Amino acid sequence: MAQRRLTAIAEGQVQGVGFRHLVSTVARQLGVQGWVANMPDGTVKIVAEAEEAMLESFLVRIQVRGCPADVCSLRTSWSKPTGEFSGFEVRFAE
């Protein structure tokens, strides 16, 4: 299956509740590469590369609802991978 690049913006109660840790843990479990960061507007941005099926599974697993994290919406866009990542990291600003 072909590699893809996913860019996602998570909205809701996603900062200060361990959401970035969850995203990085799931990414590492699935072999997804890229990064996750809190944005100044209160959202969390995710950039990830892997096989498309892996990324679809990744998206399902990070769409948590309830307490403490609550993802109200997840806007996604897809593009060609760049191959620039060698792992998955938590960033503190884009």
Active site residue 20: yes
Active site residue 38: yes
Residue of 4, 5, 38, 91 with catalytic role = 38
Phi-psi region of 63 (alpha: psi -120 to 50; beta: other; left: phi over 0): beta
Residue of 5, 20, 61, 91 with catalytic role = 20
Q: Distances from the Cα of 41 to the Cαs of 11, 45, 77, in angstroms?
A: 10, 11, 19
Active site residues: 20, 38
